[in-house]
Amino acid sequence: MEKVRLGISTCLLGEPVRYDGGHRLDRFLTDTLGRYVEYMPVCPEAECGFGIPRESMHLEGDPQAPTLVTSRTKRDVTDQLLSWAHKRVKELERENLCGFIFKSNSPSSGMERVKIFGRDGMPRKIGTGIFAGVFMKYFPLIPVEEDGRLHDPVLRESFIERIFVLKRWREMIGQGGKIGSLVEFHSRHKLLIMAHSARHGASLGKLVAGAKTIQEQELREQYQSLLMEALKLRSTLKKNTNVLQHLMGYFKKELSADEKQELLEVIDHYHRGDFPLIVPITLINHYVRKYEQPYLKGQYYLNPHPVELQLRNHV
Ligand code: SF4
């Protein structure tokens, strides 16, 4: 399988590019996720010419348009970083990135809650790093996350699920993206979308049903935007339970009374928070194989990302 291409703040890969010549190696990103993705490292401060080592810097002023200032000599270096950032995002357009992992708290790379110093000299955690801000504005549909937040199992699964969906979407478009392929894409992602938002699932279904009446480019843009919006919404115990019960309906005729009972109990344990999602999913996958359910076999909800990442193993 071709790897997912992700942008990443260079220091997270262990490269000594920080202001003090250090790094912020994150072993989950390099050793675990790194087996499935190909990273495109970006270090805004080093690449825009500030050098290594360099003076540390921080943000100050207006949270909507902050100034990047060197901490000791108080030089305003905003324009240098901004003009580099605008060029860099254009280059990144060619890289087919399906996501970006930013280094938290950085005045250049932080995605959110970066310190901004006010006139009173007090920091408030309300900012976005200069490069991260330019990137997110330029690529509003590309999933983004930060190293720290990726240690939260729910946020981690959400991000990784989205990068794999976006990769499949790009592949489908790359192969022509005709209406038939879009219908198949939608059909195979239906339950995954439902686990985030039944409302978005219905809107996407309508869009696909009326595909012939919309101009192709417009259809793709609308679909992708709604899809990414849906997947950003949190998938909860309740939403997953609904999907699991819905899945069970496909085996009405095949399951024995005992198998039905067992599946119901497992779903109930999941709903009460006793079991992780992987337990009912594994049982359902077993029945999909045993009773040869072609429609469910194709459902990405049952296999959204490599199982070795163990993203559904938390309670
Ligand atoms: S946080 Fe960003 S700017 Fe700072 S060293 Fe890491 S990649 Fe470079």
Q: What is the pLDDT of residues 45-100, one digit of tens each?
A: 999 999 999 999 999 999 999 999 999 999 999 999 999 999 999 999 999 999 99
If one residue of 13, 15, 18 were mutated to test the ligand 1 pocket, choosing by the most ligand atoms within 8 A of its CB, it would be: 18
> How confident is the model over 229-257, as a mean pLDDT?
96
Q: What residue type is 187 in one-letter code?
A: S
CA dihedral 189→192→197→200, nearest 10 degrees, is -10
Nearest CA to ligand 1 atom 4: 18
The DSSP 8-state label assigned to residue 21 in this structure reads S
Residues 231-268, buried b or exposed e (16+ Cβ, 10 A)? beeebeeebbbbbbeebbebbeeebeeebeeebeebbe
Query: CB–CB of 164/305 below 8 Å?
Result: yes
Stated pTM of the model: 0.96
**Predicted pLDDT of residue 222:** 97
The minimum-distance atom of ligand 1 relative to the CA of 44 is 3
Given a cut of 90, whether residue 275 has pLDDT beyond it is yes
Euclidean distance between CA atoms 119 and 224, whole angstroms? 42
**Predicted pLDDT of residue 2:** 86
**pLDDT (tens digit per residue) in 89-129:** 999 999 999 999 999 999 999 999 999 999 899 999 999 99
Q: How far is the CA of 219 from the centre of ligand 1 (A)?
A: 37
The minimum-distance atom of ligand 1 relative to the CA of 129 is 2
Return the number of other C-beta atoms located less than 10 Å from residue 45's C-beta.
29
Given a cut of 80, whether residue 1 has pLDDT beyond it is no
81 CB near ligand 1 (under 6 Å): no
Going by pLDDT thresholds of 50, 70 and 90, the confidence category of residue 177 is confident
**Predicted pLDDT of residue 276:** 97
Joined tokens for residue 196: 């985030």
Residue 73 has φ and ψ, to the nearest 5°, of -90, -5
Going by pLDDT thresholds of 50, 70 and 90, the confidence category of residue 252 is confident
